[in-house]
Amino acid sequence: MSDNDRNSPADAQKKKRGLWGWLKSGFEDPVPRFTHETPQEAGAPADEGREAAPAPSGDAAAVTGEASSTTPVPAAEVGPEAAPAPVAEVPPPVPVEVPVAPAGGPAFGAQIEQPPAPTVVPVPPAVAESTSEAVRVPMAEPEPEAPVAEAPPAIASESVEASAPAFEAPPEEAPVLEAPIVEAEPAPEVPPPAVEPALVDVPQQLPVEPEPVADGPAAEPQPAKKGFWSRLASGLARTASSLGQGITDLVSKRKLDADTLEELEDVLIRADLGVETSMRIVETVGKGRHDKMISPEEVKRLIAEEVERILIPVAQPLVVDTAHKPFVVLMVGVNGSGKTTTIGKLAAQWRTEGKKVVLAAGDTFRAAAIEQLKVWGTRTGATVIAREQGSDAAGVAHEAVVEARAAGADILMVDTAGRLQNRTELMAELEKVVRVIKKLEPSAPHAVLLVLDATVGQNALSQVEAFTRIAGVTGMVMTKLDGTARGGILVAIAAKHKLPVHLIGVGEAAEDLQPFAARDFARAIAGLN
Ligand SMILES: Nc1nc2c(ncn2[C@@H]2O[C@H](COP(=O)(O)OP(=O)(O)OP(=O)(O)O)[C@@H](O)[C@H]2O)c(=O)[nH]1
């Protein structure tokens, strides 16, 4: 579904369902659709670099703001450096949420502003089978208010075994739940952050396909699951059909003369393949075929071969080096490029492989991003480290590294707020996140993934330059290839920057994040079967 579809009545209806309503919809649903809450809409001070994503050059809409109905943002809390609100003012959106003492030694305390009472969202029970592994997560604190009341239905809808909710505290440990009653108290009564969080071993569980809700409507027949190729081909259909139509119109009735080749070059440039790449392709197509008839299929084949040649060196899988525990992945990119969604999709895939995954809600600028990550945590069974909106992102990253280590996590993914590459102060903030992670673990982050929105077109080229310079980008994920007819931008970036391309997003479902394969991509973009 493209961003354009957000305003459809069906989409609006989905949004009205609310968080738990969405969770009930189960694992097969499209991924959660979180809108981008602009500072203005939230009543916050304007911040151009945060709010203004580059205008898409393709025909897919840019990610625009619609205030989230579930997470109202008080004006005073908005802004990356704003003092965090008392915990009591942030209604926990998940069943359990407890304050965790800021980890890290005194040496680090001098480096980072220490916001109060970070929260940890424990692994939720969207699971069926326990493994022998256990992850240490903070003990759940009972919340007498609405969130607790809402929790059981959500668990019931996701959990396979309603009789064994993984998140119910064992009776003998119940007293621990009463200890840090800080969330409902006014700020002055919140215990100092040095208090040890109560920890309990919670079985690490693997996500499974959800069972239908017992009292829900009769299950509709599900469409057959798409295969890898069909997802890729349908995701790139807009680019392929635009290219294909242009090629067919050009060569089906004409000989391959100089004019035809020039027009072919225009068709390729319009698909954002870039001038150099387009010239290179046209040269290949024209070689030995001047003034001869050529079929559209033959031209597509030649394009695919040339594109594949360009892509082969950059098509590199994202390899998790198990020597690092956790393997730290930092997500960077401009506003709305798909960082949080990509984290969720990756978490889903890695959790299915049985990996222990921790997610750090380092996009502290946008309240909805924190909620979005928590939902992905609930959905995938990954632990989420989150603080209030406006907290120091570097502090969250620090906390997350400490917690992920303590939990023996395999992978830690750190989300960051979207920022325009030309906003120096925001890029400096990102630099600080990297610095803080390195201070704890010099080899980390082990992967810095630049998430690029394919619909922004040529602007992506300067994003690669800036983010690589500031954050040391190691690889790229290109999202929303399904929302543009100009997916050729990936080829232009590959040709210019030679940056590894690990993954591509061709839709909003978790399965729509695919490993990048040069041949498949080249053939799909050219419209070949
Ligand atoms: N169609 C499509 N939509 C995508 C894809 N990847 C992400 N999206 C959507 O893009 C929108 C923005 O994604 P987010 O993950 O919130 O973006 P972000 O980079 O975290 O945003 P900021 O926090 O503002 O920087 C969401 O509606 C996603 O569902 C994709 O591959 N295809």
CA proximity to 352, closest of 77, 136, 126, 142: 126
Amino acid letter at 104? G
Centroid of ligand 1 to alpha carbon of 336 (angstroms): 5
Token pair for 182: 């800080």
Which residue is associated with the tokens 């703001």?
65
| CATH superfamily of the domain spanning 229-311 | SRP54, nucleotide-binding domain (1.20.120.140)
- Give the position, in ligand 1's atom list, of the atom nearest the Cα of 50: 24
Cα–Cα distances in Å, from 212 out to 11, 27, 344?
22, 11, 22
CA proximity to 317, closest of 464, 518, 496: 518
d(CA 39, CA 276): 40
Centroid of ligand 1 to alpha carbon of 411 (angstroms): 21
Is residue 363 in contact with ligand 1, taking CB distance under 6 Å? Answer: yes
State yes or no: 131 annotated in a binding site: no
Domain-wise residue ranges, the chain = 1-71+80-160+181-206+322-445, 229-311
Centroid of ligand 1 to alpha carbon of 340 (angstroms): 7
Residue nearest to atom 21 of ligand 1 (CA): 336
State yes or no: 109 annotated in a binding site: no
Centroid of ligand 1 to alpha carbon of 35 (angstroms): 9
Residue 285 CB: number of other CB atoms within 10 A? 24
User: So what's the ipTM on this one?
Assistant: 0.98
For a ligand 1 pocket test, name from 66, 341, 429, 489 the mutation site with the most ligand atoms within 8 angstroms of its C-beta: 341
Is residue 337 in contact with ligand 1, taking CB distance under 6 Å? Answer: yes
- Give the position, in ligand 1's atom list, of the atom nearest the Cα of 34: 27
Q: How confident is the model over 362-412, as pLDDT tens digits?
A: 999 888 999 999 999 999 999 999 999 999 999 999 999 999 999 999 999
Whether a cis peptide bond, with omega within 30° of 0, leads into 326 is yes
Each residue's pLDDT tens digit in the chain (529 positions)?
A: 333 333 343 443 444 344 444 444 444 444 444 444 433 333 333 344 454 455 444 433 333 333 333 333 333 333 333 334 333 343 444 443 333 333 333 333 333 334 444 444 444 443 333 333 333 333 333 343 333 333 333 323 333 333 333 333 333 333 222 233 333 333 333 333 333 333 333 333 333 333 333 333 344 444 455 677 788 888 889 889 888 889 998 888 889 999 999 999 999 999 899 899 999 999 999 998 888 899 999 999 999 999 999 999 999 999 999 999 999 999 999 999 999 999 999 999 999 999 999 999 999 988 899 999 999 999 999 999 999 999 999 999 999 999 999 999 999 999 999 888 778 888 999 999 999 999 999 999 999 999 999 999 888 999 999 999 999 999 999 999 988 888 899 999 999 999 999 999 999 888 899 999 999 999 999 988 7
State yes or no: 339 annotated in a binding site: yes
Centroid of ligand 1 to alpha carbon of 333 (angstroms): 11
CA proximity to 396, closest of 80, 33, 68: 80
Token pair for 368: 């909805």
- Give the position, in ligand 1's atom list, of the atom nearest the Cα of 504: 31
User: How is domain 1-71+80-160+181-206+322-445 classified at the CATH fold level?
Assistant: Rossmann fold (3.40.50)
Which residue is associated with the tokens 């960051």?
416
For a ligand 1 pocket test, name from 78, 413, 433, 508 the mutation site with the most ligand atoms within 8 angstroms of its C-beta: 508
Is residue 418 in contact with ligand 1, taking CB distance under 6 Å? Answer: yes
Residue spans of alpha helices (H) in 356-449: 367-380, 393-407, 424-440
